[in-house]
């Protein structure tokens, strides 16, 4: 891994305050390319993505998602969804969508875009709310929403490494 990639990973933080600058279509495509480059069990690639840039839709999410206030100012968000039927190994779609979500967050940092992961699945009320709002078909389950915007705040890296949580070969308490 290059020092640049490691720096992006270690310095990525949740950014909840944004400027009014729009996210360019080319940047959105790069974020989605990064998402679709995530690992996937049996190469199933169950992910589907909904770009949300309609102000009323973004505001509507804040009415039922308790941690989504930043969507009031976010110029765009991406709903990461998973196809849950017709899969060889259906139990792995959440891991695949988590990897895709993390790739969006990491790529956003590399592009100078702020982001926040808003969890949806497995919270039944959030799944129902997002599914209804976005008109998702029954075989598609919303997994997360990534809020995106150019940062209007700066956060330094957060040192989270804890050697006490590292075990070798077997658990050592």
Q: Is the pLDDT assigned to residue 2 strictly greater than 80?
A: no
**Residue in 51, 57, 56 with CA at minimum distance from that of residue 76:** 51
> Domain containing 77: what range?
17-152
pLDDT tens for each residue of 115-169: 999 999 999 999 999 999 999 999 999 999 999 999 999 999 889 999 999 999 9
DSSP assigned state of 156:
-
Number of structural domains (the chain) is: 1
Question: Is the distance from CB of 49 to CB of 32 less than 8 angstroms?
Answer: yes
Full-model pTM: 0.95
Secondary structure element (H or E) that encloses residue 124, with its range: helix 124-134
Q: Say if 171 falls within a structural domain.
A: no
Q: Say if 73 falls within a structural domain.
A: yes
**Residue in 38, 64, 45 with CA at minimum distance from that of residue 134:** 64
CA distance 27 to 91: 31
Q: Is 123 exposed, middle or buried (0-12, 13-18, 19+ CB in 10 A)?
A: middle
Q: Say if 11 falls within a structural domain.
A: no
pLDDT tens for each residue of 59-95: 999 999 999 999 999 999 999 999 999 999 999 999 9
Q: Say if 100 falls within a structural domain.
A: yes
Q: What are phi and psi of 39, to 5 degrees?
A: -65, 150
The arrangement of strands across the sheet holding 76-83 comes to 47-52, 76-83, 140-149, 114-119
Chain centre distance of CA 154: 20
């Amino acid at each position: 891994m290059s020092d640049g990639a490691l720096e992006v990973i270690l310095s990525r933080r949740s950014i909840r305050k944004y400027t009014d600058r729009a996210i360019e279509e080319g940047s959105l495509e790069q974020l989605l390319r990064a998402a679709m480059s995530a690992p996937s069990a049996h190469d199933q690639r169950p992910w589907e993505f909904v770009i949300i840039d309609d102000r009323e839709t973004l505001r509507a999410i804040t009415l039922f998602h308790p941690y989504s206030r930043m969507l009031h100012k976010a110029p765009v968000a991406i709903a990461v969804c998973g196809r849950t039927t017709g899969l060889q190994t259906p139990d792995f779609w959440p891991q695949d969508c988590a990897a895709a979500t993390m790739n969006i967050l990491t790529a956003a940092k590399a592009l100078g875009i702020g982001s926040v992961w808003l969890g949806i699945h497995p919270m039944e009320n959030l799944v129902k709310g997002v599914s209804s709002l976005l008109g998702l078909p029954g075989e598609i389950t919303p997994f997360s929403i990534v809020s995106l915007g150019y940062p209007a705040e700066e956060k330094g890296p957060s040192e989270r490494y804890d050697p006490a949580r590292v075990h070798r070969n077997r658990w050592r308490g």
